[in-house]
């Protein structure tokens, strides 16, 4: 008998029919002799509807009250799923975040979990109950309801799995697993049997979108094995774990990409200690999300800085930089839009120094111009013209032999 944590997102519980389907998936696990804790999100459009109600009252809602409002969404789902399990003759109990003992810091909209008091859940499991927990929410020390921010239900599931010392945490989603790249663009894309936490982290941060990076980090820190799998189709998903020994021979595990990127270049900056922090603090204050940053010192001790942002943030970025013209003393600003980011990810890169070079070679052979480069130990990101994005992904996918089944399988 193993203890399994299952997590079902908003699409998987989008209607009462889908909730019935989720109940069936939970019961399958129970029928295999496992103890199950289920974490669920709010039903499909519930959150949007609640946000709309708040919008009718105020354009600037208090964050404590937004948490109070939004957490009703998961509370509805847990009660309905529990009823569905009971209707099928299974013992089940629902818990909100505070009932499940999920203690967070005292902060609204984006609180971190500090501690989980698992006593009540353990008691319920001991009494043969399926425990259904509201994702995304917790309670602060002063008894206020808090939320965990984006990807919060993934985080709830992984944190519960860690606290309960679960055998694994299954993340049910609307895709069947983690792919070598997006199968909607590249037909050779292949579902991975497994992937390491670090690789998943890079892919998640790069917008692969199936799993929230925070949850992956949590899983990595607490050694919780994850499986990303489909809530609709019955097949094995992708296992996210510490070491992917069986596929270690693969240098590159996957390719992530993202369109609508812009590059902004500031030339002729004074080379002062404060320059970098002045620029990026000003942008952060206005919630401009800066991705790749490249800095260069030219011969006359002048600084040149390029960075990539989302295309929609270009106007605001230029406005902000103009406001700081006197402070920064730059010569000119240039910007280029219609770009895309293409990244290769794989923990095998650490011991294979030529991987980045190989990537540039493949792109050059296809006449894809590389505008920016950023590297980490297990990732190489390039910024390329947007019209070349899919071609770049395809040739890289082929060059790094990602469509091939690995020789050794799990």
Residues that bind its own copies (CB under 8 A): 16-17, 19-20, 50, 53-54, 56-58, 60-62, 64-66, 68-69, 71-72, 75-76, 78-80, 82-84, 86-87, 93-94, 96, 98-99, 120, 143-145
Query: Tokens representing 39?
Result: 């974490």
3-state secondary structure of 148: coil
Q: Which C-beta is closer to its own copies: that of 83 or that of 311?
A: 83
Q: Which C-beta is closer to its own copies: that of 20 or that of 375?
A: 20
The distance of closest approach from Cβ of residue 99 to its own copies in the complex, given in angstroms and rounded to an integer, is 6
Q: Which C-beta is closer to its own copies: that of 107 or that of 391?
A: 107
CB 229 within 8 A of CB 168: no
Q: Which C-beta is closer to its own copies: that of 91 or that of 325?
A: 91
Q: What 8-state DSSP symbol labels residue 369?
A: P
Q: In what side-by-side order are the strands of the sheet with 145-147?
A: 113-116, 102-104, 137-139, 145-147
The distance of closest approach from Cβ of residue 93 to its own copies in the complex, given in angstroms and rounded to an integer, is 8
b/e per residue 129-146 (b: at least 16 CB within 10 A): bbbbbbbbbbbbeeebbb
Q: Determine the Cα–Cα distance for residues 172 and 227; give it in Å rounded to an integer.
A: 8
Q: Which C-beta is closer to its own copies: that of 60 or that of 351?
A: 60
Query: Tokens representing 29?
Result: 């696990």
Q: What 8-state DSSP symbol labels residue 91?
A: -
* DSSP bridge partners of 173: 230
Q: Determine the Cα–Cα distance for residues 112 and 148; give it in Å rounded to an integer.
A: 6
The distance of closest approach from Cβ of residue 79 to its own copies in the complex, given in angstroms and rounded to an integer, is 4
Q: Which C-beta is closer to its own copies: that of 65 or that of 259?
A: 65
Q: Which C-beta is closer to its own copies: that of 58 or that of 351?
A: 58
Query: Tokens representing 23?
Result: 């109940």
The distance of closest approach from Cβ of residue 131 to its own copies in the complex, given in angstroms and rounded to an integer, is 13
Q: What 8-state DSSP symbol labels residue 368?
A: P
Q: Which C-beta is closer to its own copies: that of 21 or that of 260?
A: 21
If one counts every other C-beta atom within 10 angstroms of the C-beta of residue 125, the result is 18
The distance of closest approach from Cβ of residue 95 to its own copies in the complex, given in angstroms and rounded to an integer, is 9
The distance of closest approach from Cβ of residue 224 to its own copies in the complex, given in angstroms and rounded to an integer, is 26
The distance of closest approach from Cβ of residue 84 to its own copies in the complex, given in angstroms and rounded to an integer, is 5
The distance of closest approach from Cβ of residue 114 to its own copies in the complex, given in angstroms and rounded to an integer, is 19
Q: In what side-by-side order are the strands of the sheet with 35-40?
A: 92-95, 130-134, 35-40, 3-8, 168-173, 226-230, 238-241, 194-196
Please say whether the dihedral angle defined by the alpha carbons of residues 46, 47, 48 and 53, taken in this order, is positive or negative: positive
Please say whether the dihedral angle defined by the alpha carbons of residues 325, 328, 334 and 336, taken in this order, is positive or negative: negative
Q: Which C-beta is closer to its own copies: that of 125 or that of 372?
A: 125
Residues 6+ apart with CB under 8 A from 59: none
The distance of closest approach from Cβ of residue 82 to its own copies in the complex, given in angstroms and rounded to an integer, is 5
């Amino acid at each position: 008998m193993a203890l399994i944590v299952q997590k079902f997102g908003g699409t998987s519980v989008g209607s009462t029919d889908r909730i019935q389907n989720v109940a069936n998936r939970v019961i399958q696990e129970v029928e295999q002799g496992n103890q199950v804790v289920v974490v669920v999100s709010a039903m499909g459009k519930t959150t949007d509807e609640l946000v709309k109600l708040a919008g009718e009252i105020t354009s600037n809602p208090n964050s404590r009250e937004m948490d109070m409002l939004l957490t009703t969404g998961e509370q509805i789902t847990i009660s309905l799923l529990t009823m569905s399990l009971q209707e099928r003759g299974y013992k089940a109990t629902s818990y909100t975040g505070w009932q499940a003992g999920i203690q967070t810091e005292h902060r609204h909209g984006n609180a971190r979990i500090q501690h989980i008091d698992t006593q009540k859940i353990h008691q319920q499991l001991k009494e043969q109950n399926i425990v259904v927990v509201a994702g995304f929410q917790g309670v602060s020390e002063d008894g206020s309801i808090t939320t965990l921010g984006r990807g919060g239900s993934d985080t709830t599931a992984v944190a519960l799995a860690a606290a309960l010392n679960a055998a694994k945490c299954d993340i049910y989603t609307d895709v069947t697993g983690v792919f070598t790249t997006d199968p909607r663009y590249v037909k050779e894309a292949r579902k991975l049997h497994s992937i390491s936490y670090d690789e998943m982290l890079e892919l998640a941060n790069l917008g692969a979108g199936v799993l929230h990076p925070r949850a992956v980090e949590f899983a990595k820190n607490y050694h919780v094995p994850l499986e990303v799998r489909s809530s609709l189709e019955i097949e094995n998903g992708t296992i996210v774990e510490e070491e992917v020994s069986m596929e270690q021979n693969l240098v590159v595990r996957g390719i992530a990409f993202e369109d609508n990127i812009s590059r902004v270049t500031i030339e002729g900056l004074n080379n002062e200690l404060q320059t970098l922090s002045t620029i990026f603090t000003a942008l952060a204050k206005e919630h401009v999300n800066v991705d790749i940053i490249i800095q260069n010192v030219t011969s006359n001790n002048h600084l040149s800085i390029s960075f990539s942002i989302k295309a929609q943030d270009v106007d605001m970025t230029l406005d902000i930089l103009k406001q700081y013209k006197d402070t920064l003393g730059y010569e000119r600003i240039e910007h280029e839009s219609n770009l895309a980011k293409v990244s290769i990810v794989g923990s095998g890169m650490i011991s294979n120094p030529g991987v980045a070079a190989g990537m540039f070679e493949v792109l050059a052979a296809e006449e894809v111009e590389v505008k920016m480069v950023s590297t980490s130990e297990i990732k190489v990101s390039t910024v390329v013209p947007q019209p070349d994005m899919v071609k770049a992904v395809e040739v890289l996918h082929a060059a790094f032999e990602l469509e091939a089944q690995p020789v050794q399988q799990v």
